Structure 1
Amino acid sequence: MDTGSLTTPFGRRPMTLTLVKRQFETKKADTPTAVDKWRVFRDIGDARTRLGLQDRALAVLNALLSFFPATELGSDKNLIVFPSNAQLSARANGIAGTTLRKCLGTLVEAGIIIRKDSPNGKRYARKSGEGDIEDAYGFSLAPLLARAAEFAALAQEVAAEQRRFRIMKDRLTIVRRDVRKLITVGMEENLPGDWAAAEACFIDIVGRFVRRPTLDDISTSLDEMNLLHEEVSRMLETQEEIKKSDGNDIAFGCHIQDSNTESCNELEPSFEKKQGEKSVTNKTTTRKDEPEVFPLSMVLRACPEITAYGPGGSVSSWREMMAAAVTIRQMLGVSPSAYEEACEVLGQAGAAIAIACILERTGHINSAGGYLRDLTSRARRGEFSLGPMLFAQLRANDVGAQKAG
């Protein structure tokens, strides 16, 4: 295989270190004796995203290969093709000249072909008296032979990634269906538990699905949905453990009383009127609905350190959760105004969750108050929601527990 010495492009086209590196790699590669040029082309097509190639660049490569007379690229053959731009354009479905030159440059930068320019920049071949090509100027296909194994490996990686994508997408579809139906069972059967919060969490996860997800997007969504599935399953398994002193109370807080409503409003994330009451809005001012609420058990699993600051060293209700958050706020040096603003934007339960997450990461946060204000500002602009932060903390704890075990 004649790869020649290091070559530089004709005219104003610059020589770059990348081009030098590509030529050295081609020279030093453990080159096979021969490869099927169309098989290599298919591998490059399968791995085009990894190589940074568009469909038009592949069309130009296909045209270049068509000018190589043999089916196999061999080390004993001259691997330089020298078609004119007009000939290339005709075989590349009439591609425009500007686009053709851009695609050729892309193929060179990707290390798919190497330029071997003549003294005047024209592409041609010199033949011997017997008709054999002694020297040629154009595009060398030597990288296709030298990197054939690499292209094949890349194609296999892409195929494996696509299989993983399909598998994980199927799993996400199934667990999404399971969670939706399990939540419906809990709500329709009036089972004890944070079912409204679980549904809000489900909606939050689904709301962050993107139209064209990557493997990482699918993986993140699957992790979050699996965590919610575990939480919903736990709620179904432990429903008998949830006791209520008043059947009218809900899992997120207390109903509004006619007297002393201030203490309840300070701590509880949401409120429900008692059965039989026409309205409570005439007796007290009702806070706005909580924008995001998650099952308390899930929050405590993600942020276990907050339990030490609850009454008696435990947190068993949202009231105790928010009381603990107030204590932690003072301990972390978060100003009352910053916490009040967070309550207004995130809701009282949401602010408590944010404080709990900040407590978990206090060693990585320079200013808890500044961090909370930043989260609040982003949430006000619609650029932040509690879900990703809570799920990230939940995953971090699960990974830490696995390593410890």
Structure 2
Amino acid sequence: MYDELISSEDLPLSRKSVLPGTGFFLPDAIEDDLEDERAKAKLEGAEAAVVADTDADGLACVALLREAYDDVRNVPEPADEDEDEDEPASETDALDPLEEPEPTPHRVALLGASPHDLEDSIQQVADYAKEGIDLYVCDLCPDRYEYVADELEAALEVAGHAAWYDHHQWDDDVAAAVRDAGVDLVIGDSEEECTADVVYRSLEYEFDPIYEELAAVTRDHDLWLREDPRSDDLADYAYWSGPEEYAEVVREYGAALPAWVEEFLAEKRIEKEALIDQAVSRTELQDVDGYTVGITYGRCSQNEVAEAMREQGADASIVIKPAGSVSIRGTDAFDRCHEVAGLVGGGGHPKAAGCKPDIYDDMLDYAHHWTTHGAVTKQVLLDAFQTVAEDEQDTDSSGDDHSLE
């Protein structure tokens, strides 16, 4: 396949908005091999491994742990103005798949993960870490213990200590199983804390006040409070920079990002705003048992798009991405997003959740997804909203507390 067919660098925004990024088209076999080689290099000689979500919250946890371990600082230089920044940075995009990765100097290795591949990163610790390593898992929650059971057992045979910090909605049986396996699991209140808050208060280390502020600003975005304008800067920088860069910059500067980062963000936001406008223009408002649900499709920043739908009167918002994932955002009027996501194989918080419906059997299904702007996914999510709304009505009529937590 010609590179230009999967590269979105020169696409018009109208087309770039409806197609996934280049990394989507990288075969799993190549990506898995690359990730294994990179993990092996990172874990060589490391004293601790952090399996973390690569959003601002998960990466703030990495910064806190590196500070607590007195890890070497590796603050990047300002980005080269001539460097091509048309795509959001990622480690996969940055490396040649045939290039042998160099070992990193960090004592605390970062293994980026998502809820969909959490078990793979835990297995990498089992396969490549030295005996006695400290294992941390941050800002990730398995829907079922079986999804991580074998990998976690293997990693615990290698690790000298294991801790898991999170703030999502955990099933009681899953939490009990993780603790029974020998992991120090600390779960924060998903409506009060982000995972950086949990790490900050859980580690036996006296942090500089800048890290308490970093956790607070991270919380502002992660819990969708939107009271501190700096939280959008952190979220955007975590998205557009590589995970290692972000972790090192916020460890050095906290929430007060340096001028060169602000300049970088200002440049990137030109395209970001255009992609937001594309997604907002596709918004449909649906009535679901008395709730107004906004739904749209596109490669975009979901939080800003959800806010635009809220301003149009949406009680909850669904943003469907070209790669198949879905972001769900709520308001004070609807705070059961995690239940909607849970019906479609996902999870999250009452006002912010995500999922990826298991509806793609082959590339024709994805082609239909792109050309119809996620028509099948829209119906799947609206059906899930309908189920949750009906459950709420049924439990309210019986006089019971309708919370499923």
Classify the TM-score, shorter chain.
Answer: under 0.3
Q: Compare relative contact order (CA 8 Å, sep 6+) and give the higher one, 1 or 2.
A: 2
Compare the two structures and name the one with the higher strand fraction.
Answer: 2
TM-score by length of structure 2 reads 0.20
Larger Rg: 1
TM-score, normalization by structure 1: 0.20
Q: Which has the higher helix share?
A: 1
